[in-house]
Structure 1
Amino acid sequence: MTSEPTHLDDHQLLIPASQERVWQAMLDYITTLLRRGRPIAWILGASPPNGFAVIAEEPHHRLDLSGQHRFATYLLRFELTIPPDRGESTLLRARSYADFHGLSGRAYRTALLMSGGHVGGVRLMLHRVRASALRR
C-alpha cells in the first residue's frame, strides 16, 4: 500500500510484563496468525490469502500488518510503550485503519462495526498476547 488507510479505532491493554516479553509474545502470536490464517480471509478473497502481511517493524515498539480483500484495504498497527510509574508493565495498543470500497464496502463496514466483530477480534488478539506474555 502506498498510503495509510483511514484511522478506524484504537484498543489497548496494560500487560504486567516487560516490553521484551510482550514483544516476543506478540511476535509468536502474529507468526501463528500468519501461518494459520483466518477462514474469513479466504471467504473475503483476501490478499495475502491468510489476511495479513507484515509491512513494517520497529523491534520492541511497533509492528504493522496490512492486507486487502474485495471490500476493504486495511492496516493493523501494534504499538508497545512503557507507561511511567507502572513498574514492569507494557501498554500494548492495536490501531486499526481501513478504507472500504464502494457500496458493498460501506455495507461491509456497517456490518463489521455494528456486529462487534471487529472490536471482539482485536480485543481477543490483545488478550491472547497478554496471556502468552504472562506465561513466559
Structure 2
Amino acid sequence: MAYVRTVPLPYVDTHTTVVPAGADVVWRTIGEVMRRSFAGRAGAGYARLVGVADRTTSGPHTPAVGSTVRGFRVTTADPLRELVLTGRHRFSAYTLTLRLAPEGPGRTRVSAETRAVFPGPAGKLYRLLVIGSGAHAAVMRRMLTSISAPKGAR
C-alpha cells in the first residue's frame, strides 16, 4: 500500500494544548495515547466498517517510522518535535501531524493538524458525518486531553 502523495492534502483543522511536562515525557505519552486510542473493540469495528489500510498495531511503543496503530502508519518520527501519521480507507486519505514546541520551563505545546481528502459522493457524505458533525473535533480534543496528563510529569 503506497502512502506517497506529491500534493499536500487539504487542510481540515488544528487543535492545540499546552502540556505541563517536557518534550521527552510528552513524546512517550503520545506513543502510549496513540496505541490506546484506537485499540478497543469499537476501534476494531470502525476500522472494519470503513476499511482502513492499517488495522493492527505494530512496532515499538515509542513512535518510529513504519510502525502502525489502527488506522495509521508512522511516516515521520522526529523525536521530541514532530510525528506524522498517515492513513486511508474507503472514504478518505488523511494525515495527522503532531508538533511539539517548548512553551517555557517544563511545558510543551502540542498541536495536532489534520489534513484529508474525501473523494467522490461517499467521501463527501463521510466528511459531513465525521467533520461536519463535530465528531472529529471531539476525538481530537479527547486525544489532546489524554496527552495533557502524562505519567512522569512534574
TM-score by length of 1: 0.89
Q: Judging changes above 3 Å, is the alpha-carbon distance between structure 1 residues 32 and 44 closer, same or farther for their aligned structure 2 residues? A: same
Are the counterparts in 2 of residues 16 and 88 from structure 1 also a CA contact under 8 Å? yes
Are the counterparts in 2 of residues 34 and 52 from structure 1 also a CA contact under 8 Å? no
Distance 2:92 2:147 in 1: 26
Are the counterparts in 2 of residues 34 and 53 from structure 1 also a CA contact under 8 Å? no
Q: Judging changes above 3 Å, is the alpha-carbon distance between structure 1 residues 7 and 47 closer, same or farther for their aligned structure 2 residues? A: same
Distance 1:2 1:25 in 2: 28
Distance 1:130 1:102 in 2: 37
Which moved further from structure 2: 64-73 or 32-41? Answer: 32-41
Distance 2:78 2:22 in 1: 17
Alignment partner of 1:42: what SS?
helix
Distance 1:67 1:29 in 2: 17
TM-score by length of 2: 0.79
**Equivalent position of 2:20 in the other structure:** 16
- Higher helix proportion (structure 1 or 2): 1
Which moved further from structure 2: 47-56 or 30-39? Answer: 30-39
Give the number of equivalent residue pairs: 132
Q: Which runs of 5+ in 2 are unaligned?
A: 56-69
Are the counterparts in 2 of residues 15 and 90 from structure 1 also a CA contact under 8 Å? yes
Aligned-pair distance for 1:25? 0.7
Distance 1:33 1:124 in 2: 9
Aligned-pair distance for 1:114? 2.2
Distance 2:130 2:96 in 1: 15
Match of 1:112 among 126, 130, 143: 130
**Equivalent position of 1:78 in the other structure:** 98
Are the counterparts in 1 of residues 92 and 117 from structure 2 also a CA contact under 8 Å? yes
